[in-house]
């Protein structure tokens, strides 16, 4: 049992990381910190486990036995409480230069337990240009005991000057059988449901686990994949777009409501709200007005990101649907992600041409690009729905 056992279908990456962790331990023992690769780039498609691989590598670097999986060091890393691991993700749509510079200052500190100071930088592709330039300087001249672990979908998503200074670890989409096996053995999911979830998620482990364990996730998937059948007219297209955007907004609100309340209450408490004493409460709360406004802005940005991610997930579901249609039109001998909807897929495959299917896929991908460019979601999704209409 090691920290790498949870990396599904990533045998090649696991071998590379295991050897590197063992070598890092020898470097520490010989006092040759400069011999360690101080910047790593983990890339792979959504669901391949980029962050999980980076976290497992962090545990292996901090573990005396190169990632045994059962010591206190490994346990603290895996649950996110190790003092020498700094794990960050964008607070909103992107990393700001301010957030990145603050992280760089923290990264410069010495490790507290004698090994490495590890910085796990999730979604590094979301760094703004200024933030990326600040990150580049930190990677070019890292402290001798600091290791940067960057995660991004593809190397091209980062500046060439950053990726050229990183050792790359490429992850792949796990096979359906591998994901289904994990769900059945580790989550006690019935075999048929495990295979359905793994196939529908197209190797995306987190998505597969959600489909297997959450009936609500399966219901939302059915609603999204029912859209192509419902687009019988302009009115239906507009209504479908409105439902999709509204669902994303509701998911974002549900995901952030409790967290926002806790953050706001804690900030107000820190600035003295509820304190006793003449003039004390008023002065401290007024002094925290700027901090409260900054927090509200971050919360709005976070809600926007979650809403966009929810919409993007739905759009990828639609891409998988039309990809299956295209496979049937060409008679390709491939596994259908939505095999449970084979009748609907067959009906659409017979009623349309491959050229029409490709145009629909292009319309979905264009919608994703528009959403990433901050186009109004309702307008972008409505345009897509009209393009999908038979």
Same domain, yes or no: 68 and 112? yes
| Of 262 and 247, more confident | 247
Same domain, yes or no: 138 and 240? no
SS3 assignment, position 148: strand
* Structural domain contains residue 283: no
As a whole number of angstroms, the distance between CA 240 and CA 210 comes to 24
Same domain, yes or no: 323 and 189? no
Q: What is the pLDDT of residue 99?
A: 82
Same domain, yes or no: 201 and 151? no
Output the six-digit token pair for 54.
């980076």
Residue located via tokens 């989550």 = 187
Same domain, yes or no: 118 and 209? no
Same domain, yes or no: 107 and 180? no
* Structural domain contains residue 38: yes
* Structural domain contains residue 373: yes
Q: What is the pLDDT of residue 280?
A: 47
Q: What CATH number did the domain enclosing 130 receive?
A: 3.40.50.300
| Percent over 90 (pLDDT), the chain | 45
* Structural domain contains residue 5: no
Under a CB-based contact definition with an 8 Å cutoff, are residues 116 and 147 in contact? yes
Q: What CATH number did the domain enclosing 252 receive?
A: 1.20.272
Phi, psi of 293 (to 5 degrees): -65, -40
Same domain, yes or no: 49 and 108? yes
Same domain, yes or no: 162 and 184? no
Whether residue 164 is predicted with pLDDT greater than 60 in this model: the reply is: yes
Q: What is the pLDDT of residue 2?
A: 83
* Structural domain contains residue 146: yes
Asked whether the CA dihedral 152, 153, 158, 162 is positive or negative, the reply is positive
pLDDT in tens, 11-61: 888 889 988 888 886 655 444 444 578 999 999 988 788 999 999 999 999
Asked whether the CA dihedral 36, 66, 182, 211 is positive or negative, the reply is negative
Per-residue pLDDT, averaged over 180-186, amounts to 91
Rounded to whole angstroms, the maximal C-alpha distance in the chain is: 80
| Per-residue pLDDT band at 377 (split at 50, 70, 90) | very high
Whether residue 330 is predicted with pLDDT greater than 60 in this model: the reply is: yes
Q: What is the pLDDT of residue 143?
A: 83
Q: What is the pLDDT of residue 285?
A: 52
N residues, the chain: 390
* Structural domain contains residue 27: yes
Q: What is the pLDDT of residue 249?
A: 85
SS3 assignment, position 56: helix
Same domain, yes or no: 123 and 181? no
pTM over 0.75: yes
* Structural domain contains residue 2: no
pLDDT in tens, 341-358: 999 999 999 999 999 999
Q: What is the pLDDT of residue 311?
A: 92
Same domain, yes or no: 254 and 307? yes
| Total domain count, the chain | 3
Which residue segment(s) compose the domain that 363 sits in? 234-270+298-388
Same domain, yes or no: 23 and 158? yes
Same domain, yes or no: 193 and 123? no
SS3 assignment, position 278: coil
* Structural domain contains residue 370: yes
pLDDT in tens, 249-289: 888 887 777 777 777 777 777 766 655 555 444 444 555 67
Cross-strand partners of 41:
150, 168
């Amino acid at each position: 049992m090691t920290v790498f056992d949870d990396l599904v279908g990533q045998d090649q990456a696991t071998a590379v990381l295991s050897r590197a962790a063992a070598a890092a331990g020898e470097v520490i023992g010989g006092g040759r910190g400069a011999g360690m690769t101080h910047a790593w780039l983990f890339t792979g498609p959504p669901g391949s486990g980029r962050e999980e691989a980076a976290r497992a590598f962090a545990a292996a670097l901090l573990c005396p036995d190169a990632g045994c999986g059962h010591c206190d060091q490994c346990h603290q890393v895996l649950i996110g409480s190790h003092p020498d691991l700094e794990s960050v993700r964008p607070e909103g749509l992107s990393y700001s230069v301010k957030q990145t510079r603050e992280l760089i200052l923290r990264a410069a500190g010495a490790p507290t337990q004698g090994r490495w100071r590890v910085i796990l930088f999730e979604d590094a592709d979301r760094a703004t240009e200024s933030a990326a330039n600040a990150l580049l300087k930190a990677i070019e001249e890292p402290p001798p005991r600091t290791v940067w672990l960057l995660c991004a979908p593809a190397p091209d998503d980062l500046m060439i000057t950053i990726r050229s200074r990183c050792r790359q670890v490429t992850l792949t989409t796990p096979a359906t059988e591998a994901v289904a096996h994990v769900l059945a053995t580790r989550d006690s999911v019935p075999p048929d449901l495990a295979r359905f979830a793994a196939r529908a998620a197209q190797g995306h482990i987190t998505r597969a686990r959600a489909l297997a364990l959450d009936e609500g996730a399966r219901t939302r998937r059915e609603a999204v994949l029912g859209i192509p059948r419902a687009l019988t007219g302009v009115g239906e297209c507009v209504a479908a777009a409105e439902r999709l955007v509204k669902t994303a907004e509701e998911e974002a609100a549900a995901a952030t409501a409790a967290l926002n309340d806790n953050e706001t209450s804690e900030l107000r408490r820190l600035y003295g709200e509820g304190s006793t004493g003449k003039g004390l409460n008023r002065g401290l709360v007024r002094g925290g007005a700027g901090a409260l406004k900054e927090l509200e802005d971050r919360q709005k940005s976070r809600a926007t990101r979650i809403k966009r991610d929810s919409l993007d997930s739905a759009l990828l579901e639609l891409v998988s649907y039309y990809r299956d249609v295209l496979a049937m039109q060409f008679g390709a001998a491939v596994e259908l992600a939505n095999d449970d909807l084979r009748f609907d897929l067959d009906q659409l495959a017979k009623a349309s041409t491959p050229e029409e299917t490709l145009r629909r896929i292009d319309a979905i991908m264009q919608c994703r690009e528009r959403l990433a460019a901050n186009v109004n979601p309702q307008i972008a999704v409505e345009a897509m729905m009209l393009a999908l209409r038979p």
